[in-house]
Structures are given as structure tokens and as C-alpha cells.
Amino acid sequence: MNTTKKEYSNVQVKQKIRLNKCYFLLETENHQTSPSAGQFYLLRPEREQNSILHIPVSIFDRTENELRFLIKIVGVGTEALGELITGDRLKILGPLGNGFKITEGKKTLLVSGGIGYAPLYLLKKELMYAGNQVVCLHGGRTTEDTFEADLTCTEDGSSGLKGMVTEYLLKFLEENAKSREQQFDMIYCCGPEKMMQAVYLLASRFDIPVQVSLEEYMACGMGVCLGCAVKVRTDEEKKEYKTVCNDGPVFPANKVVWDE
Amino acid sequence: MNRLETALGKIVLKNPVTVASGTFGPEYGNLFDLNRLGAVVTKTITLQPKEGNPPPRLYETPSGLLNSIGLQNPGLEYFVNHSLPQYLELLSQDGADVTPLIVSFSGASISEFVDIMIRLESVDGIAGYEINVSCPNVEKEGLSFGVDARAVYELTKELKKNQKSMRELIIKLSPNVTDIVEIARAADEGGCDSLALINTLLGMAIDWRSGKVHLKKGFGGLSGPAIKPVALYNVYRVAKAIDIPILAMGGITTWQDALEFFYAGARVVAIGTANFINPLSTIEIIDRLEGYLKNNSSDLDSLIGTVKI
């Protein structure tokens, strides 16, 4: 059991920046929490009356006094968060879960798809702080799903290169495989499940370990209700359900049972 | 004077608010002192570890939550050796300020239920047993114990017969039956000390775009505010028909909801899905109930079962 004292707090929305039709940045007060990349918070607008579940949102960026979340509108919950304006109150629980394991002085590759960009922004900062070399690949369906990266692509070709991020990942890895020093030591990945699985399979061809951040419907956020189950391999090579909220959301990709 | 004091049979509680099995664990001790609660109810344990159902296991519906966790738990021995000590470290067992722990368990046959209880009888720190009968009975072609009055009667009788301790024996009833009073009577005649009701209502959700079910298993248990009127009616009916202490649950989210259940005849209420809406709801309900009773110079005991028709 994780025994860190947690607080369910009521924070003020400092500002909301609409990026486009689907994406927005939400900036709130930070009541003395210091999340690390890959951790998340459960969010719920204070005035929200009818919904049951909080919305799990990974931390995008933070300062001592502010938390920033990059959010994509995908349903009623995220839509309600998108309606918040400066001064509104937000119920917030976190930071929750286990973030990415940060390597030191290595060559790292960040691969994201769509809203999967969110946890990798803070991750990049942390990796650079730890003396790592960081290269970012990002893919989206259209221009709206793209964010700043070293290589950006879209499925419809509306911005960056045309195609799936995994196609370019393969080229990248093949090129770097020519010399040992150039090859990546670790890949960090967040995006649609199929994409993360593909990234994992490609990376294993080159023996590069991958850390993935998973997503699942979630209720308690603390490993109690077991609603957000994901099947993983244990150290004894048994398969069992773990919780995305408390055992994850970040898992070593080779531990995830992808096809169940 | 403690206006909130109540009792569930032999268990005296400092206040009438506990938690519904499955929605709560010692992890909440990171958010507040669990000794604020009237009692704590564990997640359901089974004899052997249970893997649980494949995900997705949760789906939110209007004012409700569907779940198909599948009673995932690490099994009886793990519970006795790890979870129980963890709870007992957090819960005061000190004479004057006790926070009773009620252990929920389930089995696939009567003998399995009995075996679990006998093992639990050998360890300290348990105030009561909540018997989860909403699981398939392997001796009756997988028909749920809880829908079969005869099976509930026999199970209760066997448990009572094998019980040496004075611990409260609580049967938790399923609402997925034609007549809940008939099942409640069977449990009462079998010798249980009190009843808990209601468990979740069976339901499903389908994605109209794809035609696919939202829960991997296809169906699950519905909880949350959506089921409150059903729970209230069932509690009212059972309380009227049988003189037995009732632990009520089903969509209780606010202190006003809790009051309604006391009027209907409940002695104790359990907060379940509301823990997900607000992880501090139990504490807030306790504080607001106390404030309400104080303002009305009343106490809980004097309003239980006094619904006006």
C-alpha cells in the first residue's frame, strides 16, 4: 500500500487557454504538491453536480505555485473542465500514481500520439535536468493534434510529415542502429494503446527498453476500487491485474500484456 | 451526549456512517483518520485469490456507475496476514474509542463460506461478518445464492451453527430478486443478526456508435444516486416486515440521503460510490448529520423507522 499522505483540495483556476477546438491548457493553484512527470491528478469542477467520476489528468507542467494540465475534450467530463474560467474552483486529488523512471546521462527518445504529448512535456524537462539527451517524435491525426517536437507528423498530412509516428520511428531507429553510440538507451511513450504497442514492438527489435503511460476508466485513483485494471506480467512471469492508478500509470512496456 | 451513537445488533457505533464493501480500503487513511467512521467494511474476500474480470470494468451512466470488478482480491490468507494487520494499525481498538471492522466475504458453496468464517474466527480484531451472497452457487448450477431464499436460509443456518464468537453476522441482500422480503425472512429465520441492503442492481451499457458493450464482461452492478430510490424502498419494506437491525446502502451521497434511510428504518448507513464523487463524503456526512440533529435538539435513535406515510 502506498502510504503517502494525500490531500483532497479545492483550488482556484488561474487561467484556461484554448489551443484549438479540442485542446486546452488549464492552469490552477498548486497547494504544495510536487508531482513528477507521468503522475496524475483527479479533477472535478466544484460546481459539477451530476457526474460521478473525477477526470484523471496527467501533469503537463508545474511551478511551485501552479499546476498545468493539457487536456483534450473527449467526453462530457473533459468538456466540463473545458468550460472552466479564471476564478472557478476545482476539486483536486493528487499527485497520484507512479511517474516515469528518469535515466541519467543517457540518450532518450520520446514518442507521443495526440493527447499522449501531455505527460512527456514535463518529462522532457526532467530528463534534460538529469543530463540526458532528448529527442521528441510526435504524431497526430490532423494539425490540431500536433505539438512542438523534433519531428512531427500527421495522418492526413495537414502539418509536418505525412503518416504515422511509428513509420518515422522505425526509420529513426534503423538509422541510429548503425552505430552503438547513436542508439537510444530508453524510449518513453504515451498515446493510443495500439500506437504504444507498436512502439514497444519496434523498440524490442533494437533492444531498447520502453516506458509507457497507460489510461483506463478510473474511480478512486488510489488503488482501492480496482476499476482501472491492466494485465501485466509479474517478476515470476505470472500474469495478473494491476491498477493503472496506483501501480501505474507508467509501466515498463515489456511487462504489459498487450493483447488481452 | 453523543447524538449520533447507534448500534447494529451487538456492534456499538459512535456514529451511524460506515462504508460500502468494495469502495473503500485502508488507502483512504492517507486522506483522513479512519477512526472518524462509525465502522469500516472491507472489500469482499474469497477463499482463494480472485483475478477479477477483464477491463474495462467501469462505465459511468447518468447518476450511476456500472462496475464489473469480479471480486478481485488476494484471497483469505493474504487478507489475514497482510490486509487485516494493516487495518488494525489504523483503527483504534481501545476500549472507549473503538472503530469496529466488519469483514465482507463470499464463497462458491456453503462449505466454502463456513471455511472462511472458521479461519476468521481464529484471528482478533473483527467485529462482524458481512456475507456477500451475490455470487454464483456452484452447488446450484451457478445460480446466485442471493436470489434463492432456500440457499440463503441454509447458508445462514450453517454459518450460525459454526460460529463460536459473538461477532455480528450480517447477510447482505441483493435487490435483483422478485421479493426481497422473502430473502430477508430466510436470512432472519436462518439466524442472522442483522441485514445489509442493497447490493448493486444488474445493468449494462452499449455504445450506440459501435454496438459494442462498454463493460468487457457485458454487464455489471449499478450503484450511485441512480439506485437510491430502489434502495430506500427495499429498506423500508424489509424494516416494516422484520424486526432486525438494518445496515443500508445504495446511492447515499449526502447527509440528507442518510436521514431518509434512517426514517425508512436503517440503523447504520454505508457510503459507497459517493466515496468516488468526493473521497471525504463520509466525514462530511457525519459532521452535517450531527449539526442537523443538534439544531433540532434531536438524536438519531428517536427518528429511526419513523417515516410518515
pLDDT in tens, B237-249: 999 999 999 999 9
Distance CA A71, CA A119 (A): 11
Which H or E run includes A24?
Answer: strand A23-29
To the nearest whole Å, the CA of A234 is away from the closest chain B CA by: 13
Query: How does strand B201-203 pair with strand B194-197?
Result: unpaired
* Adjacent-strand bridge partners of B164: none
Asked if A220 and B30 come within 8 Å (Cβ–Cβ), the reply is no
Chain A nearest-CA residue for B44: A225
Q: Supply the pLDDT for residue A176.
A: 84
DSSP B73: B
User: In Å, how far is B276's CA from the nearest CA of chain A?
Assistant: 5
Mean pLDDT, rounded, for B93-118: 93
* Cα separation, A143 vs A120, whole angstroms: 19
Kindly give the pairing relationship between strand B268-271 and strand B246-248. parallel
Summarize pLDDT for B32-64 with one digit per residue, the tens.
999 999 999 999 999 999 999 999 999 999 999
Query: Above 80 in pLDDT, residue A4?
Result: no
Q: pLDDT tens digits for A104-151?
A: 999 999 999 999 999 999 999 999 999 999 999 999 999 999 999 999
DSSP B253-307: -SHHHHHHHHHHT-SEEEE-THHHH-TTHHHHHHHHHHHHHHHTT--GGGTTT--
Top CATH class of B6-54+70-207+225-302 equals alpha beta
Following CA atoms B103, B175, B223, B292 in sequence, which dihedral angle do they give, to the nearest 10 degrees?
A: -80
pLDDT (average), residues A217-221: 95
Q: What is the 3-state secondary structure (H, E, C) of A158-203?
A: CCCEECCHHHHHHHHHHHHCCCHHHCCCEEEEECCHHHHHHHHHHH
Query: Exposed, middle or buried: residue A185 (CB in 10 Å: 0-12, 13-18, 19+)?
Result: middle
All residues of chain B having their beta carbon less than 8 Å from the beta carbon of residue A219 are 23, 58, 65, 67, 273, 276
Identify the CA nearest to B294 among candidates B15, B1, B17.
B1
Cross-chain residue pair B30–A226, CB shorter than 8 Å: no
**What gap in Å lies between CA A178 and CA B58, rounded to an integer?**
46
Q: Is the pLDDT of residue B138 over 70?
A: no
Q: Return the DSSP state at A47.
A: T
> What is the per-residue pLDDT across A160-201, written as a single tens digit (0 to 9) for each?
999 999 999 998 898 888 877 788 999 999 999 999 999 999
For residue A72, is pLDDT > 70? yes
Pairing of strands B17-19, B268-271: parallel
CA B226 from chain center: how many Å? 17
Quick one: cell of B234? 427495499
Nearest to A10, CA basis, from A39, A33, A30: A30
ipTM of predicted assembly, 2 dp? 0.92
Q: Report the residue of A224, A228, A230, A231 to disrupt the B interface, i.e. the one with the largest count of B CBs within 10 Å.
A: A224
Residues of B in contact with A241 (CB under 8 A): 51-52, 55, 72
pLDDT of A98 above 90:
yes
The answer to whether residue A236 scores a pLDDT higher than 70 is yes
Pairing type for strands A229-233 and A239-243 reads antiparallel
Query: What's the pLDDT score for residue A36?
Result: 95
Q: What is the pLDDT of residue B96?
A: 72
